A and B are shown apart, each in its own frame.
Chain A
Amino acid sequence: MGAQKKISDLLPGQTATVEHFATSEPWVWRLQELGLLPGALVQLIRCAPLGDPFEIEVKGSLLSLRKKEASAIWVSLA
């Protein structure tokens, strides 16, 4: 297993594997239903010009999520 990071720590273009979610707020299930499950590959595409929200790619679709969410999702670098 590679180094543990949060999605918000990734650099644009970096791909990592989702490890776990640091919370169980309802948005977690929403995100998981969109395919961001533990074990899935996630790529940070970019941050918005003002630093928030983040754009990620998962299972071929582009999603946007706020920093608050991105920093509650732990990933490991491949």
Chain B
Amino acid sequence: MSETLTSQTLSSSSSPQSQTPVFALVGNPNCGKTTLFNALTGSRQKVANYPGVTVERKIGTFLTQHGKPLPIIDLPGAYSFAANSPDEAILRNVLVGHVEDEPKPNQLLCIADAISLERHLYLCIQAAELGLPMTLAINREDLAQESGIDIDTAILQETLGISVILTQANKGTGLIPLRLALSRAKNNVPNQLVRYSNPIEDTIERLEQSLIVHDTTEAQRTRGIALLLLQEGNCPVFVSEKTRTILEREKARLNALDPNWPSALIQARYEIIQALCRQAITHKPVSGKTLTEKLDSVFLHPILGWVSLATIMGGLFWSIFSLAGYPIDAINWTFNELISSINGVFPRGPLRDLLNDGILTGISNILMFLPQILILFFFIGILESTGYLPRAAFLLDRVMGRVGLQGKSFIPLLSSFACAVPGIMATRTLKSPKERLATILIAPWMSCSARLPVYLLLIAACLPNHSAWVKAGVLLFAYTFGMVAAFSVAWISRKTLLKGESTDVIMELPPYTWPSWRNLVIYLADRARTFIKRVGTTILTLSIIMWFLTAYPQNPDLSGAERLEHSYAGIMGQYLEPVISPLGYDWKVGIGLVSAFTAREVFVSTMAIVYSVENGGGGAGCCCGCGGAPKNTALASILPTQTRADGSTLFTPLTCISLMVFFIFALQCISTIAIVRQETGSWRWPIFQLIFMTSFAYIAALCIYQGGKLLGFA
């Protein structure tokens, strides 16, 4: 960001009190922040992404007690303003007005959890230092009562100098007093309670002066910004170069005096908080274990923990793998009906083909993902809001940590066995950008359900007379091979390309809570909308391009197989022959590979067309193993009879294995490319992934085929 823009955004001539209020909702993760936001705004909220990062930007409107609509921004949950992850950087940058196109908040609504109030007040005290009018909501006071915690809000109000309101956002309790407090024309700026050691206070003063002179910051905000600068974390605050120079000099001075000065800063805040809590909180002894202790003794038990994890993950996997099949079939059926009724009405011609095979097939390709996405995010939503997700991560951290990932990478990877698209969407639960990218990188190597029909076809073709056990063994090999390679690549990438510490090593295991259905519905609707809007358009465009390549130039007089041969895809397949013949394939397989780029299972239907198997039509794209059993059997018996130009058998077991290996690794899926673009925010990563995965597939298949030939397996 340029310096001029920075200086401009840091300054604001008018006083915040005279402007229309823009509220920012600030709080720790797991304190019911989203529930409070949803309760205040209802459905009046907009979800988007902040530019350049995949941090969600949620702006809503809530009505004051007099019915006046006011904007409120739901900022990402964080434990501190020291920013080490994109989420935390967004939180801080919005608060200081450094995010483009974002209204600069001039009032804060802090939310803290009543059960661990002391820890939650840390962020509130930091927020208080920003010098903005503030209101504090203390949430989940019902649960605190159960644990024997009694909070005296009067003391908090008096000491902090702001309104403090007890709420139970999930039940709507306390919302009226909260709305009333927020409706006030003039809310109080909190008292500045924390006084740091003299050297730190000197530094703050020097930074404040520089901010006023060089960054034209308003006087009442300088202390807050100076403190943010002292604890900026990995993600720097944007300030003028002069202030930056002073900051570096001051940090060096403090380091020389006491290398542990950041700790002194934290300690000074906690001392104030502890004194406050001693006065305001009374603990009554409670007998018996809390719900969280009871549940953890099962979910984190050395044996029962694994059993429950396996059950939950098994249920999740079964649901997206198999349960999603019903709505997918329904979508498929609807679109087939639609296409055939269009065929009945419209005359044959390029327009009808575009509509049927390009547009409608493309739209059905998009909708086909929705059941899996919704089911997966239903699970993730529940696991996240109940507090189980961090427990699963806790159990699995050791395993995933070995390859440089973390426990939370597990769910995206598991889901990718059904489909990489929802799997990659699920990487949003990972806060560390590098671990998230590493997970996105390897997710497509988990053999998804679209590969299953291809694997089954190739296994049936190359091992027609072997027992089911051998076939199952080969299938297992395909799955394992992909996984082993994926984890190796994850490990290597975390040592090289994506080198760096994980930011999520330290995480909270929040108390278990009952999920809020309202939050879940809003969450799911939002996921579906984002997918259709952002990813859908890319998939549709790519689907139409793929349709065009297989349908043009048009040769209506030819048979299906010949038409495909003379299409652009067919021509590309033929051009590919010299490239793919070292892998053991001919140009007909090449056509299959080109068309499989739409979605992997299209390979099966294309092969059926190429080899003129009856009923071989079938449109492009369906994602849940609908290769069609009879067609598969007919095709599997035809494949072994195919020969190359020199008369040698084409589909030897070695060719089939080489082809399977190619399918394990190649990124033949436009939808995956589209979702990676959406989730990483640029084309750079999906293009890298496409080139990397396809080269890897090529080299692996080459090694298998040529190695096999050398060993005499041809």
How far apart sit A69 and B397, CA to CA, in the bound complex (Å)? 14
Query: If A37-B267, A52-B397, A62-B292 touch, does A24 touch B259 (CB 8 Å cutoff)?
Result: yes
Contacts of A63 in B (CB 8 A): 506-509
Contacts of B399 in A (CB 8 A): 50
- A27 contact from B116, B303, B505, Cβ within 8 A: B505
* Closest CB in chain A relative to B141 CB, distance in Å: 15
* Closest CB in chain B relative to A51 CB, distance in Å: 7
Determine whether the beta carbon of A61 is less than 8 Å from that of B397. no
CB closest residue in chain A, given B399: A50
A4 is an interface residue with CB less than 8 A from chain B: no
B300 is an interface residue with CB less than 8 A from chain A: yes
Interface size on B, as a range, is 35 or more
Using an 8 Å CB-CB cutoff, how does the interface string of B291-303 with A read, 1 for contact, 0 for none?
0100010001111
Determine whether the beta carbon of A64 is less than 8 Å from that of B231. no
Determine whether the beta carbon of A64 is less than 8 Å from that of B506. yes
Determine whether the beta carbon of B259 is less than 8 Å from that of A34. no
Determine whether the beta carbon of A29 is less than 8 Å from that of B115. no
How far apart sit A32 and B510, CA to CA, in the bound complex (Å)? 18
Contacts of A26 in B (CB 8 A): 84, 233-234, 501
Contacts of A33 in B (CB 8 A): 79-80, 82, 122, 266
Determine whether the beta carbon of A30 is less than 8 Å from that of B80. yes
B305 is an interface residue with CB less than 8 A from chain A: yes
B270 is an interface residue with CB less than 8 A from chain A: yes
Find residues 56-93 in chain B having any chain A CB closer than 8 Å to their own CB: 79-80, 82, 84
* Closest CB in chain A relative to B59 CB, distance in Å: 27
Interface size on A, as a range, is 20 to 34
Determine whether the beta carbon of B302 is less than 8 Å from that of A29. no
How far apart sit A36 and B51, CA to CA, in the bound complex (Å)? 35
User: Chain A interface secondary structure, helix, strand, loop or mixed?
Assistant: mixed
Determine whether the beta carbon of B119 is less than 8 Å from that of A27. no
Determine whether the beta carbon of A55 is less than 8 Å from that of B300. yes
Using an 8 Å CB-CB cutoff, how does the interface string of A44-62 with B read, 1 for contact, 0 for none?
0110111111010001111
B481 is an interface residue with CB less than 8 A from chain A: no
CB closest residue in chain A, given B259: A24
Determine whether the beta carbon of B119 is less than 8 Å from that of A35. yes
Contacts of A45 in B (CB 8 A): 296
How far apart sit A78 and B84, CA to CA, in the bound complex (Å)? 34
Contacts of A61 in B (CB 8 A): 116, 119, 508, 510
Which residues of A are interface residues toward B (Cβ below 8 A)? 24, 26-35, 37-38, 45-46, 48-53, 55, 59-66, 68-69
A-B contact pairs, 27 of them (CB 8 A): A26-B233, A26-B234, A27-B506, A32-B262, A32-B267, A33-B82, A34-B79, A34-B506, A37-B266, A38-B263, A48-B300, A48-B394, A52-B398, A53-B394, A53-B398, A55-B394, A60-B115, A60-B116, A60-B118, A61-B116, A62-B508, A63-B509, A64-B390, A64-B507, A65-B505, A66-B397, A69-B506
Which residues of B are interface residues toward A (Cβ below 8 A)? 79-80, 82, 84, 115-116, 118-119, 122, 231, 233-234, 259-260, 262-263, 266-267, 270, 292, 296, 300-303, 305-306, 390, 393-395, 397-399, 401, 501, 505-511
Q: A48-B397, A50-B395 are in contact. List 9 more A-B contacts (CB 8 A).
A: A24-B260, A27-B505, A33-B80, A35-B122, A49-B305, A50-B398, A60-B119, A64-B394, A64-B397
